[in-house]
Amino acid sequence: MKKQSLLIILGLVMVLPFISNGQTETNRTIPVKSETKVYGPKKGEFHIGIQDIRLQIYGNGRSFFNFSPRIGYMITDKDMVFVDAYFSNIFEDDLWKNIEVAINYRRYFGKHALKPFAQGGIGYGYFHRHQTSYYGGSEKDYIDANIGAGLSYRYKRWSIEAGLELEYNQFNNDAIVLKPMVGVSFSF
């Protein structure tokens, strides 16, 4: 009896796959995870970047180097507060130097990788013109204000941004200056 039961079970195991209905195909697609994920700014994220790097060369042989690093913190998914420093002509000994520190607020708009933004801030600066310059020597402390707008394209943790900025009273001259904003930043 044991031998017959064993043969019946073995026979069913061998025949059952051929007589049973198999799984039917469906037109359902299987989601595939993309390797190129676009990250959006997130609350609690830090950003380090460079907002302005320029080398200006004039016909009289003079060159001016401007550099503006920044560090920021996302207070919400769309709002960032950042501190930036502006250094201009710091390598020329005989003309002028400008150093400035500012606190700024930036608001991002949209839900895609390409995001418009608007920003504004206030800064404190120091301007030194050397005695041998065309205008004579002087030193000034000043407070300036800026507003700007632009576009930021974010890929993974890197952002490239471009825009325009209006700045009032840089170098303590009561003038309004329109200047380009071009930068790159990394978030962590």
> DSSP string covering 59-106, please?
TTS-EEEEEEEEEEEESSSSEEEEEEEEEESTT-SSSEEEEEEEEEEE
Angle value at C-alpha 15, between 10 and 20, nearest 5 degrees: 130
- Report if residue 56 sits inside a domain: yes
pLDDT of 162 above 60: yes
With tokens 């501190």, the residue in question is 83
* 19 falls within a domain: no
**Is pLDDT larger for residue 118 or for residue 134?**
118
CATH of the domain at 106: 2.40.160.20
| Mean pLDDT for the stretch of residues 166-178 | 84
Segment 136-151 shows an average pLDDT of 87
What pLDDT does 132 receive? 59
| Burial of 144 per CB tally in 10 Å (0-12, 13-18, 19+) | buried
In a domain, 149, yes or no: yes
Instruction: Please give the share of the chain, as a percent, with pLDDT higher than 90.
Output: 44
Domain that holds residue 146: 42-187
The predicted pLDDT at position 130 comes to 67
- The answer to whether residue 176 sits within a structural domain is yes
CB 135 within 8 A of CB 129: yes
Q: Is residue 73 part of a domain?
A: yes
Give domain status of residue 5, yes or no: no
Model-wide pTM > 0.95: no
Residue 174 falls inside a structural domain: yes
Total domains present in the chain: 1
Pick the range with the lowest mean pLDDT from 33-42, 87-96, 117-126: 33-42
Residue bearing the bigger pLDDT, 90 or 166:
166
Among 17-21, 37-41, 174-178, 181-185, which stretch is predicted with the lowest mean pLDDT?
17-21
Examine residue 164 and state whether it is found in any structural domain, yes or no: yes
pLDDT of residue 175: 85
pLDDT at 92: 60
